[in-house]
Amino acid sequence: MFTPLTMRPRVLSGIQPSGNLHIGNYLGALKNWVAMQHGYECVFCIVDLHAITVYQKPEELRAKILEIAALFLASGIDPKLSSMVVQSMVPAHAELAWLLTCVTPVGWLYRMTQFKAKTESMEGSSIGDGLLQYPVLMAADILLYQAAVVPVGEDQAQHLELARDIAQRFNSLYGDTFVMPATSLPSVGARVMGLDDPTKKMSKSEKGSGHAIALLDAPADMRKKIMRATTDSNPHIDFETMGPGVANLLSIFQAISEWPDDQMKNHFSGMRYGDFKKQVANAVAEHLEPFQQRYNQIRQEPGYLESVLREGAGRVSPIANSTVRTVKQRMGIYTE
Ligand code: AQP
């Protein structure tokens, strides 16, 4: 029913071109995408239709799309192995989203914790419908490509469950159509917390200057943020009693170093916080330095970036169009 590009299971994931990508986006998503490229047929999306669920200045959004594309490449996404796609370049995303909207009960959407969190401080009349429909568009992104696996950070797990519910509902109303996508969470780094408040997820839209480590922060700024990160009143690391701030810094270090648990314990138990933070800061800065060099090189070639994105859209469009055609046929509406 759909055309595989290869015989490998398909992976789909995306990042919004809004705000500054941070180390949570990298450890929760990008780093794992890179690792999956050899075993899976991957489609990685810059989800600009998601970004406009809140107002974006048009010229800034346009520039952000290219910035994110360059960050994908700098992370190690290889456009020969994976398709890099701007969501709005493949109209089938929006078309399938509408078709799925029509099988999604609105009560399911009101239950989404991200919708509640993003709208809790808004006046009812200023809440855009796009914020409510966001998870249906995300379900469309995934189901459009019949993705078997979706690597995301923990904050997106509930949306993934909803995508499966929508697929199941469609399949039971219209016959087996969609592959059930599985969620893939990283074992470490699935939920990186804010450095200033380790009870809150690190987030692009959080404004505090000490909150997130942006992937493009100057190394000196990264170090400063880590040295100032909130910890607790213990003088040194105790794995039994540590607070969320220390646990967060440890998991950032572990996700970057890929050290096993016992090595982490042996190395860090009893270490004073000042020394510990220096080691975390060094690990982060050293990991991101070559990354930033690659990014700066890639940004000098906007023509190349545009061509990678056009090629990605061209490669996946036949799959996306074929899914939409099947869905429309099953629903009894016109396909041409
Ligand atoms: N703190 C995090 N820890 C681990 N993974 C994270 N992700 C986001 N924050 C963390 C993962 O990054 C991918 C892309 O996220 P997104 O661009 O779709 O936006 P988001 O999930 O809404 O992330 P942000 O940074 O919090 O953005 P804003 O503030 O705009 O809402 C996803 O796989 C996500 O799980």
Cα-to-centroid distance, 335 and ligand 1 (Å) = 35
Give the torsion through C-alpha atoms of 49, 13, 106, 120, to 10 deg.
Answer: -70
Residues 6 or more apart in contact with residue 228 via CB below 8 angstroms: 195, 210
Tokens at residue 139, please?
């379900």
pLDDT value for 5: 58
Evaluate: CB of 153 within 6 angstroms of ligand 1: yes
pLDDT value for 6: 66
Instruction: Identify the CA nearest to 323 among candidates 80, 90, 85.
Output: 90
Evaluate: CB of 204 within 6 angstroms of ligand 1: yes
Cα-to-centroid distance, 3 and ligand 1 (Å) = 30
**Mean pLDDT (10-residue bins), the chain, 336 residues:** 66 96 96 95 98 96 96 97 98 98 98 93 85 97 97 95 98 97 95 96 90 96 96 93 97 97 97 97 96 96 95 98 98 94
Helix or strand (DSSP H, E) at 182: strand 182-184
Residue from 31, 64, 116, 204 carrying the catalytic annotation = 204
pLDDT value for 4: 53
**Sign of the alpha-carbon torsion through 282, 226, 204, 27:** positive
Q: 112 with 124: CB under 8 angstroms?
A: no
All domains of the chain in start order, with CATH:
10-185+302-331 (3.40.50.620), 219-296 (1.10.240.10)
Evaluate: CB of 330 within 6 angstroms of ligand 1: no
pLDDT value for 209: 87
Q: Would residue 201 show up in a list of annotated catalytic residues for this protein?
A: yes
Which of 15, 25, 160, 195 best tests ligand 1's pocket when mutated (most atoms within 8 Å of CB)?
25
- What is the rounded distance in angstroms from the CA atom of residue 100 to the CA atom of residue 94? 10
